[in-house]
Amino acid sequence: MLEIKNLHVKLEEEDKQILKGVDLTVEAGKVHAIMGPNGSGKSTLSYVLSGKDGYEVTEGTATLDGEDILEMEPEERAAAGLFLAFQYPVEIPGVGNMTFLRTAVNAQRKARGEDEISASDFLKLVRERAASLEIDADMLKRPVNVGFSGGEKKRNEILQMAMLEPKMCILDETDSGLDVDAMKLVAHGVNALRDQGRGFLVITHYQRLLDHIKPDVVHIMSNGRIIKTGGPELALEVEKNGYADMKAEVA
């Protein structure tokens, strides 16, 4: 589904190489986890895939179901089925959460040549999916992420994901800042979407989340590269020994 080959990325503004040849393939229906120390380039990878300005791809490719996504506008990538749950969800004063969700759902439908969702169907769907994430009516009415707690913001990301039903979901440290209960809600939200052939790329620091979202493959990223790939046991190894040993192995 998502195929990243030899991806090299530098900052547009300065001569700083951040990704130094990333290779990664996420198959339909699979959950891949990326772990790695701070500053290793995990968020950068997620931003480059979703089309944020400020980065320059100097080498390599990234395709979604065979389509080159790096050439697309961010909204085209979204319509193609890519979704990023942000590490730091953005507050947007003055834009109601509900308006935002409806506009997004309809924009994607339109881009795919589908009809807009009716107001009542939409409302029903939001209420149902919000309820399972314990997002109340008040949070839906408020401006996007404004005044939300850290946990509320992360749950709001998952709600957007649930509404947009993307085929490839990237979650950037969705677990950080969550207490155990909130993490279970988020994991439950992800697992609910897991069937139906969706691909997931879960970026995390902790084994904790992976207890609830069981990964098929675990990658370790360090200094702009995937330095090790393995099964779920790799996450347990990191939990026990940290990254130092692995870094030494490749060095």
Ligand X SMILES: Nc1ncnc2c1ncn2[C@@H]1O[C@H](COP(=O)(O)OP(=O)(O)O)[C@@H](O)[C@H]1O
Closer CB to another protein, residue 57 or residue 107? 107
Least distance CB 190 / another protein (angstroms)? 18
Least Å distance, CB 76 to another protein, is 9
| Cα 15 to Cα 45: distance, rounded to the nearest angstrom | 17
CB proximity list for 93: less than 8 A, separation 6 or greater: 143, 146
Rounded to the nearest whole angstrom, what is the least distance from the CB of residue 29 to Mg ion in the complex?
26
Contacting ligand X (CB under 6 A), which of 10, 26, 40, 235? Answer: 40
Tell me the residue length of the chain: 251
- Which of 67, 31, 30, 28 lies closest to 49 in space, CA to CA? 67
From ligand X, another protein, Mg ion, none, interface partner of 78 (C-beta below 5 to 8 A by class): another protein
Q: How far is the CB of 83 from another protein (least distance, A)?
A: 8
Segment interacting with Mg ion (CB under 5 A) among 4-12, 41-49, 61-69, 235-243: 41-49
Cα separation, 38 vs 245, whole angstroms: 16
DSSP 197: T
Q: What 3-state DSSP class applies to 217?
A: strand
The piece of 36-44, 66-74, 122-130, 175-183 that touches ligand X (CB under 6 A) is 36-44
**What is the footprint of ligand X within residues 42-71 (CB under 6 A)?**
42-44, 54
Q: Which does 18 bind (CB under 5 to 8 A by kind): Mg ion, ligand X, another protein, none?
A: ligand X
Residue 134 falls in which region: left (phi positive, over 0), alpha (psi -120 to 50) or beta: left
86 binds, among Mg ion, another protein, ligand X, none (CB under 5 to 8 A by kind): another protein
State the nearest-atom distance from the C-beta of 72 to ligand X, in Å: 20
Give DSSP secondary structure letters for 70-110.
TTS-HHHHHHHTEEEE-SSPPPEEEEEHHHHHHHHHHHHHH
174 binds ligand X (CB under 6 A): no
Fill in the DSSP letter of residue 55: E
Q: Which does 34 bind (CB under 5 to 8 A by kind): Mg ion, ligand X, another protein, none?
A: none
Cα–Cα distance between 40 and 52 in angstroms, integer?
Answer: 18
Closer residue to Mg ion, CB minimum distance, 152 or 173? 173
Rounded to whole angstroms, the Cα distance separating 117 from 108 reads 11
Residue ranges binding Mg ion (CB under 5 A): 43, 87
Kindly list the residues in this chain that would bind ligand X in the complex (CB under 6 A).
Answer: 11, 18, 36, 38-44, 54
